[in-house]
Amino acid sequence: MLAASAAAVGLIVALLHSRGLLAIGAVPDIVSIALPVFLLTALSYWMIRRETRLLSQLGARMDEVGKAYGLEAIDSGPATEFRRFIQRFDRFLHFVNAKVHELDQQGLEAQTASRLLAYKHEKAEAVLDAIPEGVLVIDRSGVPTFANPKVEPMLGVSRQELIGQPAQKWCTNKEVLSLLMRFTQATDPAVHADGIEFSPAEHPDRRTSVSFYPLFSPRDRTTHFGLLVVFRDISREYVAKQAGAEFVAQVSHELKTPFSVLAAYSELLMDYHTLPEVERVNAVNVIRDEVERAAALINNLLSISRLESGSLPVVRQRVKVHDLLRGSFESMSKNAQTKGVALELKIPPDLGSARLDKDLFRIAIDNLLSNAIKYSDSGDRVTLSAEHLEDRQMRISVKDQGIGIPAQDRDKVFKKYYRSDSEAASSRGGHGLGLYLAKQIVELHHGKIDVSSGPEKGTTFTVEFEAQHARLEEVPQA
């Protein structure tokens, strides 16, 4: 700073001298010149001090900021204020540069983490959307915060109507609503309940089960997020359960009816000595028929049980189809006669043979015939016929003039336990096993079974399978 002042004074003296204003030896002139020079110097110094004070303050501020990030302050060594400032400024630039780089890195990491989080979130949502159950998450204030699409048909409301809305606005089932209220208002969040079942108001044929699970943080069991409500469509199980109950009722009826007849005839025979001969003979015949009837049902049940457990061996042998059909026809004739139904056999004598499991196939034909007789009224005719088709195929038909099968029931008659809801059919007893068993047996023989019918027009069941025409046979067996 002094050097700068001396230089300024030197410059002024040289200027005056060059204009002849300053002569050697002119002392008073020197004084008059020295004074402004001195004042100018002082002013310069003061101004420079003022500027450097700002630099010094800025430097101190930089030190202060640096200190917060662990930078040491620049000590006041021999360097001038200006030089110290440049040192600080340079170091601060480096520091800021490093910091910006570090922040860039952190930003990149945060972006990656955020993408990963979004991916995880989407994945979790995809999983919740894909699971077959309806999933509803209710927060601690009692309003849904998440619902997967499966919830909509089960509750009959859209997700927009659910999210953020209190249960009273979207839950129409009183039982579910009362349980929801109990859970969302429970003081002990650990309370949980077994599922309840309900049928949605819009779909009384469907059945839904609801389960409630309190949601806790996996890391901290004391942190409670709310409630998970899971809706499961149990219509199929429900129908199966009902069909099973209906089946028990039917089998019970089918079994107990012959037993009732047996019990009554045994009571009648107790007084056999007073009973006319004709009644005694009839009683014995009826007892035999009823025992056969009960045995046939038990056999059907056993066959199905063995068929389903895979323990029913199919023993195929060459069988004369004519004999097999005649055997079935004869065994069912009595049954038809009792009901006043005319049973007719229409088979050509040269029907040939087929490789069949004789006992199983007989069960199938017996079931078709007994079914036709059951759904016929007195005076109706049931016809058992057979014919050859092309490609060594044979068709057996059982045709009746009975009550017929409505179109909507035709695909279902071969289902296990299935019984028509129509009053005409349901009043005739049956257990929904005969046709199911017949179909299983025909399919075991790689054949196909079909039904054609119309209400009030009677029904025809056809069975098609591979057979050998009599003329093509080598050595037919019994």
Partner 1 sequence: MSPKRILVADDEPNMLRVLTLLLQRAGFEVRTARDGRQALESILANPPDVLVTDIQMPHMTGEQLCRELERQVPERRFPIFVMTSMTDREHRCWSQGMRDTEFLEKPVSVRTLIAKVERHFAQAQDGAPGDA
Q: Which residues bind partner 1 (CB under 8 A)?
A: 249, 252-253, 255-257, 259-265, 267-268, 271, 279, 282-283, 286, 289-290, 338-339, 423-424, 427-429
Nearer to partner 1, 173 or 376 (CB): 376
DSSP helix/strand/coil, 144: strand
Residue 430: CB minimum distance to partner 1, A:
9
Residue 422: CB minimum distance to partner 1, A:
12
Nearer to partner 1, 230 or 268 (CB): 268
Residues 6+ apart with CB under 8 A from 272: 280
Residue 438: CB minimum distance to partner 1, A:
22
Nearer to partner 1, 63 or 289 (CB): 289
Which two three-digit tokens encode residue 342?
Answer: 């005319």
C-alpha dihedral sign at 453, 456, 457, 460:
positive
Residue 292: CB minimum distance to partner 1, A:
12
Residue 433: CB minimum distance to partner 1, A:
16
Residues 6+ apart with CB under 8 A from 5: 41, 44, 45
Nearer to partner 1, 303 or 376 (CB): 376
CA distances from 67 to 64, 70, 99, 100 (A): 5, 5, 14, 18
Cβ 41 vs Cβ 1: under 8 Å: no
Nearer to partner 1, 226 or 432 (CB): 432
CA distances from 259 to 47, 181, 262, 278, 279 (A): 129, 54, 5, 22, 19
Which two three-digit tokens encode residue 254?
Answer: 């089918």
Nearer to partner 1, 200 or 402 (CB): 402
Residue 275: CB minimum distance to partner 1, A:
8
E-strand spans in 353-431?
353-356, 381-388, 393-399
Residue 403: CB minimum distance to partner 1, A:
9
CA distances from 75 to 56, 88, 89 (A): 12, 10, 14
Phi, psi for 102 (deg, rounded to 5): -60, -45
Nearer to partner 1, 119 or 259 (CB): 259
Nearer to partner 1, 334 or 395 (CB): 334
- 3-state helix vs strand vs coil in the chain, percent to 5: 55, 15, 30
CA distances from 391 to 44, 145, 395 (A): 125, 65, 12
Residue 464: CB minimum distance to partner 1, A:
32
The CA-CA-CA angle for residues 149, 151, 156, to 5°, reads 110
